[in-house]
Structure 1
């Protein structure tokens, strides 16, 4: 189940896979997919199942089918490191995806930009649309609301009997929202919200405000 929110009179839909849909612009925002990470770890002997390579593409297909966006903007760390076998899978995914694709580059995006240009993917250091700033690293800039990633945010919840849960989340402050990592093989970083922050945790197939 998704969660709808309004920011600066615009509607956004938080999806339990970790993406965010900007309704007025028909733009899907996704951060920190880290494609190629499974192949990277397998190359160095990690016992990661080969089928995990395809999982991110299955999830990308699902969220694109749910929203059918005009544009997809990746907020950095689309690929984990240098070229590997997953680039060909990515080329195939781009070829069958009708949406225009933009990459706001992150610290892991070290692949030659020409490779993206060959796929007609625009690469930018940041993107400003109306009163919104789209970046990879969190940044609070005057007069803008920022959408970003990088942190892989999570929240810790405590229940009865010393029960603890650590859940990926959308982490919203007054002027910024940090998207959860979309990638399946990424890890999380727990954040401590203040009283003015809003946290939307991903619980199985649902986005829940906590």
Structure 2
């Protein structure tokens, strides 16, 4: 499998180069922060953002589900971006997607006030218990019991060459109590995390790049 294996709460998880996570024991795929409709929301405000980002995100997810023969997809919040992005074409596309792929949405801060009713999605308001694992949007504080998969941060890490060039890439952050996924959506921003703080907190960091994943920092 083209990914990185991690052990959490007695379970084996695979971090995928796409930014998703695969849990083979339950045939569950996790993704975070799709921000569907973000481009449409910007275009509604007169910003010249190209169309097609949401369709591409859904197509990438559908391909991952098919490749892994997943039985369900769990989205760790911020499925939507904003009310102006909830166009009829996007709602139709999500309906078609969710009718084919059993999808659970753990509501994120962008979703809670705008999630439309009547879509064939299972919606969880705060967190979802999945045996030894918990699915949530916001990462829990350090020291919390159990193990949580979360999003919300859009984590990224910055590299600097000896020549002074900088490169910033999305990343997974694996703490003793949680795994924070990078944003899956195509138009999302990112929060650059400090390597010194990650090391202090005992975090492992896997950076996305060149269609693969690379361990960049190990706090253990």
TM beyond 0.5: yes
Note the alpha carbon deviations across 1:77-129, whole angstroms, 9 max, x for none: 001122223112111222233xx21111100003345333xx15233310122
**Residue 54 of structure 2 contacts residue 186 of structure 2 at CA under 8 Å; is this kept in 1?**
no
Match of 1:84 in 2: 87
Match of 2:98 in 1: 94
Q: What is the SS of the residue equivalent to 1:77?
A: coil
**Residue 157 of structure 1 contacts residue 164 of structure 1 at CA under 8 Å; is this kept in 2?**
yes
**Residue 138 of structure 1 contacts residue 178 of structure 1 at CA under 8 Å; is this kept in 2?**
yes
Task: Tell me the matched-pair count.
Answer: 206
Are 2:194 and 1:188 aligned? no
Offset of 1:188 from its aligned partner? Answer: 0.6
Cα distance between partner residues in 2 of 1:36 and 1:209: 32
Q: Unpaired runs of 5+ in structure 2?
A: none
**Residue 126 of structure 1 contacts residue 134 of structure 1 at CA under 8 Å; is this kept in 2?**
yes
Note the alpha carbon deviations across 1:54-87, whole angstroms, 9 max, x for none: 2212211222122121111110000112222311
Are 2:79 and 1:74 aligned? no
**Residue 18 of structure 1 contacts residue 180 of structure 1 at CA under 8 Å; is this kept in 2?**
yes
Q: What is the SS of the residue equivalent to 2:140?
A: coil
Offset of 1:50 from its aligned partner? Answer: 1.8
Offset of 1:143 from its aligned partner? Answer: 2.2
Note the alpha carbon deviations across 1:152-208, whole angstroms, 9 max, x for none: 000111222112110100011111111000000001101122152100000021011
**Residue 19 of structure 1 contacts residue 28 of structure 1 at CA under 8 Å; is this kept in 2?**
yes
Q: What is the SS of the residue equivalent to 1:184?
A: coil
Note the alpha carbon deviations across 1:23-56, whole angstroms, 9 max, x for none: 1111111100011111111111111112334221
- Aligned with residue 118 of structure 2, among 115, 118, 128: 115
Match of 1:124 in 2: 125
Cα distance between partner residues in 2 of 1:157 and 1:75: 27
**Residue 16 of structure 1 contacts residue 206 of structure 1 at CA under 8 Å; is this kept in 2?**
yes
Match of 1:19 in 2: 20
Q: Judging changes above 3 Å, is the alpha-carbon distance between structure 1 residues 162 and 84 closer, same or farther for their aligned structure 2 residues?
A: same
Q: What is the SS of the residue equivalent to 2:117?
A: helix
- Aligned with residue 142 of structure 1, among 141, 144, 147: 144
Cα distance between partner residues in 1 of 2:204 and 2:148: 14
- CA RMSD for the aligned pairs? 1.6
Q: Unpaired runs of 5+ in structure 1?
A: none
Cα distance between partner residues in 1 of 2:172 and 2:16: 10
